[in-house]
Structure 1
Amino acid sequence: MEERREAPTRERRSEEHQEPLHPAIEDDAEETRRLTETWAAPTGFVGWFMPVNQRIIGRRFIVTAFVYFVLAGLLGIAMRLQLAAPENDLLAPEIYNQFFTVHGTAMMFLFAIPVLEGFALFVVPMMIGTRDMAFPRLNAFGYYVYLIGSGVFFLMLLVGMAPKAGWFNYVPLSGKLYEPGLGVDIWTTMITFIEVSALTAAVELIVTILKLRAPGMTLNRMPVFVWASLVMAFMIVFAMPAIIVASSLLILDRLVGTGFFVPEMGGDPLLWQHLFWFFGHPEVYIILVPALGMVSTIITTFCQRALFGYTAIVMSIVATGFVSFGLWVHHMFATGLPHLGMSFFMAASALIAIPNGIQVFCWIATMWGSRMRLATPMLYVLGFFWVFVMGGLTGVMVASIPFDLQVHDTYFLVAHFHYVLIGGSVMPVIGALYYWYPQMTGRMMSETAGKISFGLVFVGFNVTFFPMHQLGLEGMPRRVYTYLEETGWGELNLVATIGSVVLAAGFATTMVNALASLRWGETARRNPWGAETLEWATESPPPPYNQRHIPVVKSREPVWDWREEDERPVVVGLRSDRREVVVTSMLDAEPQAVQVLPGPTIWPFLSALAATVGFIGILFHPVFFVVSFFLAFFSFVGWFWPRRPWQED
């Protein structure tokens, strides 16, 4: 393996978008053909279950997560219609509680985390200049576990057996006495499935980012989105085990009769809240951190200037990840915990606003005086500023124990966390969808429809959730399916319901735009936005192997630098008949070895099915655990069987 410099050939420069010149490597049709055959995904019905390529798996995560986003959004609309007028009977109380539980669970577990993991799996390998994830088959296994677990959960809603205790499933409401059916049992199983999927993606991202970066891409040259994905992955590794333990203890209480959360048996209901929120509050930042990386990426591209305060932003992201693990008790200020202990969590809840504020000021400094291009991705970023800052301000308010005691379990909290989660994650995600859509499909989404969707989303969101602040201050409790006319909450609830319809229309416009653009969208040119990161250094969409030659990185904006360079350094020596990637050192990305990656196989899918038999079957009879063990054993033997044609010399 050696570094080679090639003389450039001229390519047309787009004056409008300042498309960078990419010095072309000497054309070698035979090598390109071999690379395509080596990295191509299988076709056909059975072939659908076999791909392991990161872009295919990442795209599947994104599409599946958006399907659940739409379904959960429809449930939210139904709840808003129920609350549009006092003493409404559109939904029965039991149905409302099922919709409420599935809506919250789907948005938090089935959409927010998977969609951001999907973007990371899709983009990060290309951003760091490698050809795939470190463990491709584990990547595929994580997706199938997510798909099966989430599908079973939504099936419970269709048959009327969804849980009714809320997406947080507080005990004793989630115990056998109040939830005698299978709803909570399926919920606990689904949670474990989703967390296993999240942990596989986290391990993939950590190893890939630290060991498969292109030569020269030191930690100080990594794109901010890569840093954000790395922090998110470490947070998942430390936070997810808490919810896995909590769900496992709950299922033992329900199926075996243990008493971890039963006071009469020596248990403690607050143990559930501690375990759940030790995961639950870092989860907010697991969702937020990669979205902040998306914002930094989009701002840099559409302002056409290097990000101001790169080091400060990276350190702020890392600090956010650390501090987020010291906030969980601010969800429990009303539980009677000692005030001295709660005061530390109150301080940490206010402290976390500092690193987020630093990022906001760095973004403003980047935009200040630039010739900003107001394309749809940038509009969503600007909308994010308003909504996220509003959510941050109310977050500092509820960090105060006296204020929190007044608005706890009121609609003020509903408004706050929707401002944080939709403003802090959904708006950047929609902007990122428009931004990276050419990489996913080779097409451009309609800018006209994009601007219409942004207007509807921004107006609809604020009309929906801003009145909820006032409803909370007036004392309207959350988690209720109706209210009396004498309360005077009807008008604001009607306004919020109208806003939710407008908001849904905005999201629907984006979904229709994405689907229509698959066929009728403008064909994307290379690097249509004039971006600076490596995922744009190839065609749109990229070939199965991402880039024909692994580049050598010299700066944080390598693609912009290649505009002015006469030579583009690359790494050669990788074979085209095997799935080979370069392994580099952790800090300075110096080449160390060549790793051969495994190819497509159906075994990860079969392993996910084997795990499903155990997790779901044990709810009905213990024998399914034994059956699952042997099925999993044989599937893992097939998965790791050493002789593969693509691994032979």
Structure 2
Amino acid sequence: MAQAQLPLDTPPKKTDSSHSAHPKAWKWYDYFTFNIDHKVIGIQYLVTSFIFYLIGGLMAVAMRTELYTPDPDVLDPNLYNAFMTNHGTIMIFLWIVPAAIGGFGNFLVPLMIGARDMAFPKLNAIAFWLNPPAGALIIGSFFFGGAQAGWTSYPPLSVITASTAQSMWILSIVLVGTSSILGSLNFIVTILKMKIPSMKWSQLPLFCWAIMATSILALVSTPVLAAGLVLLLFDINFGTSFFKPDAGGNVVIYQHLFWFYSHPAVYLMILPIFGVMSEVIPVHARKPIFGYQAIAYSSLAICVVGLFVWVHHMFTSGTPPWMRMFFTISTLIVAVPTGVKIFSWVATLWGGKIRFTSAMLFAIGLLSMFVLGGLSGVTLGTAPFDVHVHDTYYVVAHFHYVLFGGSVFGIYAGIYHWFPKITGRMYNETLGRIHFILTFIGTNLTFLPMHELGLKGMPRRVAMYDPQFTFINQICTYGAFLLAISVIPFAINMVWSWMKGAKASDNPWNALTLEWTTSSPPAIENWEVLPVLTRGPYEYGMNGSNTEMNPGGEMGEPIVTPKNG
């Protein structure tokens, strides 16, 4: 592997801060300020997005309680519509995207490439502080009836219902989109320009490859959504007719603008999680990652091909046959690089000395459920089948297996994996396993029966349904209650362990990526002397030992563990 190059032994630089000189560690109140430390911003993203996850989850529980019976006996139908709209919005734009990209990305990318901070620290802080006002707009919209047109907000429905609340919803998404654009630009420049000279591109951690692909995708697609939403805002408030069919507007154009971003948004939510999987699995399986280059390049392939699949959401919108054929093919093609990752992870697990930590359990759980969600996605990518189940609960089942069974499980895996590094404390493994069991059972109990609901024709987004679907809906509701309960041991574990958990060593997992060469939690500028890379990030069990890298101008002292882990 790479040999040590000249040491980067320059003293820590002084960066702008609200403090004239850096303290040894941030105080608790620093996490509520405009702080430019990438690690503080990463924690701010994770904690804030989790709060919104709880809010969106409560909306989901309320909706599932309503759906326990066919009649509207818990929620007023208008309130149900508002909950349905904002549940999806919060979970996508204020939970998964900020946690996966903003949370893990900000905390880990500079540490993984040997940098002291992001390329644009102040821009990084601005990107985060756009999110709390966006969430406040979503919640505040309920004082005006709440946006009720679904998270897609198709016109003309979005133009004629709850205009003030709908305008607040649009402004919220524009703020989140602006945050995403600023953050993506920052990630690209940071990775391209700030990795240590001794790190070759073939040694870049796979999480960084995933963040790079995600950032490129966000920069290309997000402005398109912002443009469509601004035009929709004009239609609602200023009398324009871009999407008003009775005034010459075209509602299908809005669908193209929306889905050109919102299908790639699926990859914005899952690509960083793929990066998390590629870091968690080899560490806890004690094996080199299988197919490093294939995983890295498949992230870039998903980034490119993912821009050409959006019309499969519009097969019932009057699309011509040639367009249906093209986008059916492109949708099936995008499954190929995803399959490459799945097979590489399974091959990494095969024959490994697996440690069934909480992080590994969630990673393996993700594998099983994402495969199921991917298979149902392939069926939805074929036009004849999609037309049959469009706007039914089959679609709800599919994207929850992909986004909850995929993205949320991956977020949990990442939190457990990097919790010792973030907090300097070890979490309670028993509570972590209880959390996994409840979450795994609850997820399958909630969403697996929805496939049958969809195949039998139950429409989604409605509070009232045919009584023949009652029993299956009751099963789904019990599963939703179990999912809600599963959050309790997780929250207790995180809060208690952060305050009272056992002290963590700098590298409790004996991992090889650079973030584990810092203290736990990391110092404010990460290292007193920048590290020099002397071996690859996934060489577990090679040469009969696991050599850890220590910061400094020389190769660190080897930490020898038993062969193969």
Of the three residues 507, 530, 545, the one matched with 2:510 is 530
Query: Is 1:96 aligned with 2:80?
Result: yes
**Structure-2 separation of matches of 1:96 and 1:404:** 26
Amino acid at match of 2:193: K
Of the three residues 402, 405, 408, the one matched with 1:426 is 408
**Structure-1 separation of matches of 2:549 and 2:462:** 65
Indicate conservation of the 8 Å contact 1:135/1:204, yes or no. yes
Alignment of 1:373-412 (within 5 A): 373-412=355-394
Query: Is 1:185 aligned with 2:175?
Result: no
**Structure-2 separation of matches of 1:46 and 1:310:** 38
Of the three residues 525, 528, 532, the one matched with 1:545 is 525
Deviation at 1:42, TM superposition (A): 7.2
The Cα offsets for residues 566-620 of structure 1, whole Å up to 9 and x where unpaired, read as 9968459xxxxxxxxxxxxxxxxxxxxxxxxxxxxxxxxxxxxxxxxxxxxxxxx
Aligned length: 544
Identity over the aligned pairs, expressed in percent?
38
Q: What is aligned with 1:345? A: 327
**32 and 497 in structure 1: CA distance in 2 versus 1, 3 angstrom threshold:** same
Deviation at 1:520, TM superposition (A): 2.0
Deviation at 1:88, TM superposition (A): 3.8
Q: What is aligned with 1:644? A: none
Indicate conservation of the 8 Å contact 1:5/1:567, yes or no. no
Q: What is aligned with 1:455? A: 437
**Structure-2 separation of matches of 1:227 and 1:370:** 24
**Structure-1 separation of matches of 2:549 and 2:277:** 31
Q: What is aligned with 1:478? A: 460
Of the three residues 223, 226, 241, the one matched with 1:259 is 241
Gaps of 5+ in 1: 7-24, 573-649
Indicate conservation of the 8 Å contact 1:3/1:569, yes or no. no
Query: Is 1:81 aligned with 2:65?
Result: yes
**Structure-1 separation of matches of 2:547 and 2:386:** 57
The Cα offsets for residues 547-584 of structure 1, whole Å up to 9 and x where unpaired, read as 12111223322897997779968459xxxxxxxxxxxx
Over the residues paired in the alignment, what is the CA RMSD in angstroms?
2.5
**Structure-2 separation of matches of 1:46 and 1:454:** 32
Indicate conservation of the 8 Å contact 1:453/1:509, yes or no. yes
- Using CA pairs under 8 Å that are at least 6 residues apart, name the structure with larger relative contact order, 1 or 2: 1
Indicate conservation of the 8 Å contact 2:510/2:548, yes or no. no
Q: What is aligned with 1:589? A: none
The Cα offsets for residues 143-179 of structure 1, whole Å up to 9 and x where unpaired, read as 111111212221222x25321111110000000xx22
Indicate conservation of the 8 Å contact 1:295/1:428, yes or no. yes
Deviation at 1:367, TM superposition (A): 1.1
Of the three residues 126, 139, 152, the one matched with 2:111 is 126
TM-score after normalising by structure 1? 0.80
Indicate conservation of the 8 Å contact 2:228/2:258, yes or no. yes
TM-score after normalising by structure 2? 0.92
The Cα offsets for residues 526-567 of structure 1, whole Å up to 9 and x where unpaired, read as 101111100001211111011121112233228979977799
Q: What is aligned with 1:136? A: 121
**500 and 567 in structure 1: CA distance in 2 versus 1, 3 angstrom threshold:** closer
**Structure-1 separation of matches of 2:444 and 2:523:** 41
**Structure-1 separation of matches of 2:269 and 2:82:** 24
Alignment of 1:209-288 (within 5 A): 209-288=191-270
Between stretches 220-229 and 39-48, larger displacement belongs to 39-48
Alignment of 1:495-574 (within 5 A): 495-557=475-537, 570=552
Indicate conservation of the 8 Å contact 2:369/2:402, yes or no. yes
**311 and 277 in structure 1: CA distance in 2 versus 1, 3 angstrom threshold:** same
Deviation at 1:264, TM superposition (A): 3.0
The Cα offsets for residues 183-225 of structure 1, whole Å up to 9 and x where unpaired, read as 1100111111001111111011000001000121121110000
Amino acid at match of 2:43: R
Deviation at 1:360, TM superposition (A): 1.1
**423 and 406 in structure 1: CA distance in 2 versus 1, 3 angstrom threshold:** same
Deviation at 1:58, TM superposition (A): 0.9
**Structure-2 separation of matches of 1:220 and 1:46:** 37
**Structure-1 separation of matches of 2:193 and 2:510:** 28
Answer 1 or 2: which has greater strand percent: 1
Of the three residues 138, 153, 169, the one matched with 1:153 is 138
Task: Report the secondary structure of 1:470's partner residue.
Answer: helix
Between stretches 513-522 and 423-432, larger displacement belongs to 513-522
**Structure-2 separation of matches of 1:469 and 1:47:** 43
Amino acid at match of 2:514: L
Say which one has the larger Rg: 1
Amino acid at match of 1:520: K
Q: What is aligned with 1:108? A: 92
Amino acid at match of 1:507: V
**292 and 339 in structure 1: CA distance in 2 versus 1, 3 angstrom threshold:** same
The Cα offsets for residues 478-536 of structure 1, whole Å up to 9 and x where unpaired, read as 01011132xx1000000000011111111232122111111221111110111110000
**564 and 435 in structure 1: CA distance in 2 versus 1, 3 angstrom threshold:** closer
**Structure-1 separation of matches of 2:204 and 2:124:** 22
Alignment of 1:610-649 (within 5 A): none
Amino acid at match of 2:56: A
Task: Report the secondary structure of 2:33's partner residue.
Answer: coil
**Structure-2 separation of matches of 1:174 and 1:242:** 18
Indicate conservation of the 8 Å contact 1:4/1:569, yes or no. no
**Aligned structure 1 segments of 4 or more residues deviating by more than 3 angstroms:** 2-6, 31-48, 558-572
